[in-house]
Amino acid sequence: MFTAVDIITTKRNGRPLTPEQLTWVVNAYTAGEVSDEQFSALAMAIYFQGLTDEELFALTTAMLKSGVTLDFSDLGKPTADKHSTGGVGDKITLPLTPLVASYGVAVPQLSGRGLGHTGGTLDKLESIPGFTVDLTETEIRDQLRSVGGVICAATAELAPADKKIYALRDVTATVDSMPLIASSIMSKKLAEGTDTLVLDVKTGTGAFMQDEDAARQLAEKMVWLGKEHGVATTAVLTRMDTPLGYTVGNAIEVEETLEVLAGGGPADVVELTLTLAQHMLAGAGIDADPAEHLANGKAMDAWRAMVTAQHGDPHAPLPIPPHEYTLVAPESGVLARLDARAVGEATWRLGAGRQVQGQSVQATAGIRLHAKPGDRITAGQALMTLYTETEDRIAAAQQPLESAIEVAETFTAPDLIIDVID
pLDDT of residue 365: 96
Cα four-point dihedral sign 154, 113, 144, 312? positive
Residues 366 and 251: beta-carbon distance below 8 Å: yes
**Mean per-residue pLDDT, 71-83:** 94
Q: For the chain, how far is it from start to end, CA to CA, in angstroms?
A: 40
**Mean per-residue pLDDT, 357-382:** 93
Residues 270 and 232: beta-carbon distance below 8 Å: no
Q: What percent of the chain shows pLDDT beyond 70? A: 99
Residues 83 and 189: beta-carbon distance below 8 Å: yes
| Shared-domain flag, residues 342 and 389 | yes
pLDDT of residue 328: 96
Q: What angle do CA 354, 356, 358 make, to 5 degrees?
A: 85
Distance of CA 316 to the CA centre of its chain: 26
**Mean per-residue pLDDT, 262-284:** 98
Structural domains of the chain, count:
3
Cα four-point dihedral sign 303, 304, 305, 306? positive
Kindly report which listed range (27-36, 56-65, 167-176, 296-305) carries the lowest average pLDDT score. 167-176
**Mean per-residue pLDDT, 316-327:** 97
Cα four-point dihedral sign 24, 29, 31, 32? positive
pLDDT of residue 354: 77
Q: Is residue 104 part of a domain?
A: yes
Kindly report which listed range (54-63, 128-137, 346-355) carries the lowest average pLDDT score. 346-355
Q: Is residue 96 part of a domain?
A: yes
Instruction: Report, in angstroms and rounded to the nearest whole number, the Rg of the chain calculated over CA atoms.
Output: 22
Q: Is residue 58 part of a domain?
A: no
| Shared-domain flag, residues 210 and 303 | yes
| Shared-domain flag, residues 27 and 147 | no
pLDDT of residue 9: 98
Q: Catalytic residues, which ones?
A: 83, 162, 169, 184, 188
| Shared-domain flag, residues 303 and 329 | no
Q: Is residue 65 part of a domain?
A: no
| Shared-domain flag, residues 267 and 125 | yes
The whole domain housing 223 covers 73-157+168-178+192-309
Outline where 151-297 has alpha helix (H). 160-170, 178-191, 212-228, 251-261, 267-283, 291-295
Q: Which residue has the higher pLDDT, 39 or 113?
A: 39
Residues 154 and 188: beta-carbon distance below 8 Å: yes
| Shared-domain flag, residues 208 and 242 | yes
Task: Say which CATH number the domain at 249 has.
Answer: 3.40.1030.10
| Contact partners, residue 121, CB within 8 Å, separation at least 6 | 91, 93, 94, 109, 111, 112, 113, 151
| Shared-domain flag, residues 376 and 284 | no
Task: Say which CATH number the domain at 349 has.
Answer: 3.90.1170.30
| Shared-domain flag, residues 198 and 281 | yes
Rounded CA-CA distance 301/288 in Å is 18
pLDDT of residue 356: 67
| Shared-domain flag, residues 87 and 205 | yes
pTM score of the predicted model:
0.94
212-263 pLDDT, tens digit per residue, is 999 999 999 999 999 999 999 999 999 999 999 999 999 999 999 999 999 9
What is the DSSP track for 372-421?
-TT-EE-TTSEEEEEEES-GGGHHHHHGGGTTSEEEES---PPPSEEEEE
Q: Has residue 358 got a pLDDT over 80?
A: no
pLDDT of residue 392: 95
Task: Say which CATH number the domain at 22 has.
Answer: 1.20.970.10
Residues 288 and 299: beta-carbon distance below 8 Å: no
Q: Has residue 4 got a pLDDT over 80?
A: yes
379-390 pLDDT, tens digit per residue, is 999 999 999 999
Rounded CA-CA distance 5/189 in Å is 30
Q: What percent of the chain shows pLDDT beyond 90? A: 89
Outline where 50-150 has alpha helix (H). 53-64, 93-101, 121-125, 137-146
pLDDT of residue 115: 67
120-132 pLDDT, tens digit per residue, is 899 999 999 999 9
Kindly report which listed range (148-152, 208-212, 260-264) carries the lowest average pLDDT score. 208-212
One-letter amino acid at 28 equals: A
| Shared-domain flag, residues 81 and 173 | yes
| Shared-domain flag, residues 116 and 263 | yes
pLDDT of residue 175: 83
Of 370, 405, 158, 407, whose CA–CA distance to 248 is shortest?
370
One-letter amino acid at 72 equals: F
Q: Is residue 402 part of a domain?
A: yes
Give the H or E element holding residue 8. Answer: helix 4-12
Rounded CA-CA distance 246/79 in Å is 31
Q: Is residue 418 part of a domain?
A: no
Q: Is residue 336 part of a domain?
A: yes
The secondary structure of the chain in percent helix, strand, coil, rounded to multiples of 5, reads: 45, 20, 40
pLDDT tier for residue 170 given thresholds of 50, 70 and 90? confident
Q: Is residue 203 part of a domain?
A: yes
Residues 401 and 328: beta-carbon distance below 8 Å: no
pLDDT of residue 357: 64
Mean pLDDT of the chain: 95
CA atoms within 13 A on the CB side of 144: 29
Residue at a domain's end among 244, 276, 309 = 309
Rounded CA-CA distance 84/111 in Å is 10
| Shared-domain flag, residues 203 and 118 | yes
